[in-house]
Amino acid sequence: MKNWRDQRLQRIWELVTKGQRIGSDEGLYLYEHAPLGYLSNLADRINKRLNNGKVWFNRNMHIEPTNICIYHCRFCSYSRKFNEPGAWEMNLDQILEQIDQSRDTHLTEVHIVGGVHPQRGLEFYEEMIREIKLRHPNLLIKAFTAVELDFMFRKSRVGVKEGLIRLKKAGLDAIPGGGAEIFDETLRAYLCPDKADSDTWLAIHREAHKLDIPTNATMLYGHLESYKHRVDHLNRLRDLQDETSGFQAFIPLKYRKENNLLSDIGETSTVEDLRNYAISRIYLDNFIHLKAYWPMIGREVAALSLSFGVDDLDGTIQDTTRIYSMAGAEDQNPTMTTDELITLIRQSGCQAVERDTLYRTVKIY
């Protein structure tokens, strides 16, 4: 980038390629001024240094025990109240049966998230995890957003540390990154006024890391947030990762507009999605993995994201999630076979690596 005419972009390029950290001002400048080609080249360099051309995926399925939820998030197309059309709640036997009937005999992960059910506390989910582990001892369980954990702990009148210890003892292996939304307090108070705030989300992940429970992190983007809000969000995640090193992956989550209270604002373009992946990779210098959740953005954009710093495409899913299909995602029946994922990765010029929940290699293709 020696011939780049924007001296500030050239300076950022030099800093990042030398392994030095950029600050909030530089992050904002990238969002406001950096061209797509610049971002792709810089993010790809970082990714190759960290992952050497490998793209990770796993064999997973989702369990969504209920979409009945006490909260009122303006961006949500998924939640329902009791007896409302489209509401569901699965009992323990139904949850276990869904796992038993998995089409993939080599499944390595079950991902469990859902609505915050007003009648279900820690004891229900503790038993659920314990029973899954009894039936499927080799299956890794990644479960519960910090928002779900906050409620179940408060309902059962236990502290965060005690609750996490109990869940880990029952068989919890990792925590996903949902519920982070956007950390700016003013914007969050408008978007999701009654659920766990930013400090609570960060505190729960901090405690999980102290207990050697790895977690992921997310950011919901493309709604009412500004670029400053995005940089602030990334900065708080980077600070916590400096402190704990407990985050495994960062997953930008695109706002989808169908069937929610923000539908009139539209959605971000594919170009903006790719720019956001690249800047996330550049800014989060202490995160090894950047995931493109393909059921949210579609297979084609997921393939493109591999040139913008992404090194993980999540997993096979098996058409077991409804969160994004209910919000208007392109793929209404999200499932990809292992062969389809491998082909998509290879066609992008990368090496496909099957992993487990903890990023241990299962097989190199």
Which tokens hold the place of 299? Answer: 């297979």
* CA distance between the termini of the chain: 34
pLDDT value for 328: 43
* 246-286 pLDDT tens trace: 999 999 999 988 878 888 998 999 999 999 999 999 999 99
* DSSP summary character for residue 241: H
pLDDT value for 65: 93
Contact 117, 66 (CB under 8 A): yes
**One-letter amino acid for residue 217 of the chain:** A
Residue 168: is its pLDDT beyond 60? yes
Domains of the chain: 7-364 (3.20.20.70)
Residue 333 — very low, low, confident or very high, per pLDDT cuts 50/70/90?
low
Average pLDDT over residues 31-56: 97
pLDDT value for 159: 98
Average pLDDT over residues 165-194: 97
Q: Which residue has the higher pLDDT, 88 or 244?
A: 244
Residue 320: is its pLDDT beyond 80? no
Closest CA to 214 of 180, 248, 237: 248
Residue 199's Cβ-count burial label (10 Å; 0-12, 13-18, 19+) is: exposed
Q: Which residues pair with 63 in a beta bridge?
A: 112
Distance CA 129, CA 120 (A): 14
pLDDT value for 105: 75
Residue 327: is its pLDDT beyond 70? no
Distance CA 198, CA 249 (A): 19
Which of 247-251, 296-300, 331-335 shows the lowest mean pLDDT across its residues? 331-335
* 95-151 pLDDT tens trace: 999 999 886 778 999 999 999 999 999 999 999 999 999 999 999 999 999 999 999
The rounded Cα 246 to chain-centroid distance in angstroms is 14
Beta strands in 207-311 (DSSP E): 215-221, 247-254, 289-290
Cα-only R_g, the chain: 20
Average pLDDT over residues 292-311: 93
Q: Give percent above pLDDT 70 in the chain.
A: 94
pLDDT value for 344: 92
Contact 250, 289 (CB under 8 A): yes
Which tokens hold the place of 85? Answer: 């059309």
* 209-244 pLDDT tens trace: 999 999 999 999 999 999 999 999 999 999 999 999
